Structure 1
């Protein structure tokens, strides 16, 4: 297995942020057309599938294979890069370590046995009736508003009309509505409602910029699927979040 690459530190840091929001270590798949990471948190509640295209690298060579990585340590190394500075990676096949060079800084990152890392999840094919596309600031506002009174958030699709985020606390309630005019594309679906952990959704929305186009697929008491792009389309991210089971 061989791997060498050069990439802007900012770009790689952005690509890893959706992953580290859920897990501390992961398998990085080295594909011909870039790298991919698919991971699920220990509670099987949140999932991420991230693809970083080879076109986002200044140089990219890989012969396939899987690297096991401690994300916290890798992100700490990337934090040493100044804005716009490139990072060089070279896999040492003899030591099974990753040599990283940033300017005059040289760092050798010990890799993890991929077999010791949690198995990658299968992405389920769900019957999600509605797809809503909107800008990231709507999601950010909804999460911040829900956090005022609750630790859960309900995502409700109103048939062929709008999307409503709501939360109910012990004494207070809040609704945030995304009207049809703010849903420029997508297929508005049937009436549906699901309840989710606010902490998970807050972590997932962290990497999403205010003007980032977000595709949200929803169903009735089903997981939601979030899809968005980063780094001028070089990074594609899909998140899935399982609903909270409501007791009758």
Structure 2
């Protein structure tokens, strides 16, 4: 059983975060809320998303699992205004999701969870550097880096957070320290990542205000943020790009 009412803005932001990495996802329903863990087809990027029952105006759910085509769901949610409330109800007979908002009623055919990839295990990583920056700074650097390269190095050098992209002829670098940062736990680390994936992740970071980045040396990066007054938590894990000699 599942029935819920939630702010359109919160649900739109949550689905946008998930769809930045995968097109389809298995969502686990529990009495405590909704959650999903999914990895992209190339096994390079993973998302873990938890939407607490307290993020909802109303939440009624028992243990279960549903599969959602995120592209179709996003299109439907796009019909709602940010101030609207969306009602979701699982039809136990048809196993379809009934969606009501702003006078509209939709029925979304769900995917069979057994046909989707199993939820990945969130890896345990030793990432000594932790940096918290504003969402806007992160997005601006990704946009600037895309103009010169298809990859970007991210690291900490002598307590300075550095994001740098080097192309065939162009170069862009951003150094952040002191008041430029919201917080930092420094460690000398550096890793290289695909800008295609970082760009997709940056599009999923909506309404967060700030993000926290966990870094190691030549290790996956963990990018975390919260919204809905902390009731929705999102964690991305992105594998580093390994360059051949």
Do both proteins adopt the same fold according to a TM-score greater than 0.5, normalized to the shorter chain? yes
Q: Which bracket does the TM-score occupy, shorter chain normalised?
A: over 0.9
Note if contact 1:133-1:185 (Cα within 8 Å) is conserved in structure 2: yes
Q: Secondary structure at the match of 1:206?
A: helix
1:134-149 equivalent positions in 2, closer than 5 A? 134-149=133-148
Deviating 4+ runs (over 2 angstroms)? 180-186, 207-211
Aligned to 1:223: 220
Partner of 1:162: 160
Q: Which residue of 1 aligns with 2:63?
A: 64
* Cα distance in 2 for residues equivalent to 1:65 and 1:233: 24
| Structure 2: tracts of 5 or more residues without a match | none
User: Where does residue 121 of structure 2 map in the other structure?
Assistant: 122
Other-structure match for 2:97? 98
Query: Aligned in 2, Cα 1:173/1:10: closer, same or farther, shift over 3 Å?
Result: same
Once the 2 structures are TM-superposed, how far is the Cα of residue 210 of structure 1 from its aligned partner?
8.3
Q: Give the superposition deviation at 1:107.
A: 1.3
Match of 2:197 in 1: 200
> What secondary structure sits across from 1:232 in the alignment?
coil
The change in CA–CA distance for 1:209 and 1:74 in structure 2 (over 3 A counts) is closer
Out of 219, 240, 244, the residue aligned to residue 243 of structure 1 is: 240
Distance 1:193 1:48 in 2: 22
Q: CA deviation at 1:211?
A: 7.2
Q: Determine the C-alpha separation between the residues in 2 that align with 1:40 and 1:143.
A: 21
* TM-score calculated relative to the size of structure 1: 0.94
Equivalent-residue separation in structure 2 for 1:23 and 1:210 (angstroms): 20
Cα deviations by residue, 1:35-54 (Å, 9 ceiling, x for unpaired):
00111100011111111111
Q: CA deviation at 1:247?
A: 1.5
C-alpha RMSD over aligned residues: 1.4
SS in 1 for 2:185: coil
Query: Which residue matches 1:182?
Result: 180
- The number of residue pairs the alignment matches comes to 245
Question: Does residue 217 of structure 2 align to residue 232 of structure 1?
Answer: no
Partner of 1:50: 49
* Superposition pairs of residues 17-96 of structure 1, within 5 angstroms: 17-96=16-95
Structure 1, unmatched stretches of 5+, are none
